[in-house]
């Protein structure tokens, strides 16, 4: 039986690199704390996917491509991100304009 696999997706765009709260080490700490916060995840395997300096406006990012391949193969049980913008690169206003958020 395989271990439960938690994927941590970390992305820092060039624009965000000046903000400490968005730094790679800070995101890693926040996501690892979350991954270990639930008792049922205690023995889970945690894998990091990091795209440093990539825009979130498309999926042409090495780590997100690797993550998506693992998801499609059924190997990932949970994905944790600090902010939904890490994956899709849209802000709340963009999502509201598309009718996704109100």
All structural domains of the chain with their residue ranges: 5-97
Side-chain-facing half-sphere of 28: CA atoms under 13 Å: 9
Fold that domain 5-97 belongs to in CATH = Rossmann fold (3.40.50)
- The set of residues, in sequence order, having a beta carbon less than 8 Å from that of 25 and lying 6+ positions away, is none
Question: What pTM was computed for the model?
Answer: 0.76
Is 41 in contact with 28 (CB distance < 8 Å)?
A: no
Q: What local confidence, expressed as pLDDT, does residue 49 receive?
A: 96
Please list the rounded mean pLDDT of every run of 10 residues in the chain (102 residues). Answer: 90 66 86 90 93 77 92 93 66 55 46
């Amino acid at each position: 039986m395989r271990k439960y696999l938690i994927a941590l997706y970390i992305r820092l765009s060039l624009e965000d690199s000046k903000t400490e709260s968005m730094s790679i080490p800070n995101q890693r700490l926040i996501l690892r704390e979350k991954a270990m916060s639930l008792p049922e995840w205690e023995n889970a395997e945690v894998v990091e996917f990091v795209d440093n300096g990539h825009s979130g406006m498309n999926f042409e990012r090495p780590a997100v491509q690797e993550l998506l391949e693992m998801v499609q193969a059924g190997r990932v049980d949970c994905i944790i991100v600090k902010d939904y913008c890490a994956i899709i690169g849209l802000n709340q206003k963009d999502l509201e304009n598309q009718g996704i958020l109100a």
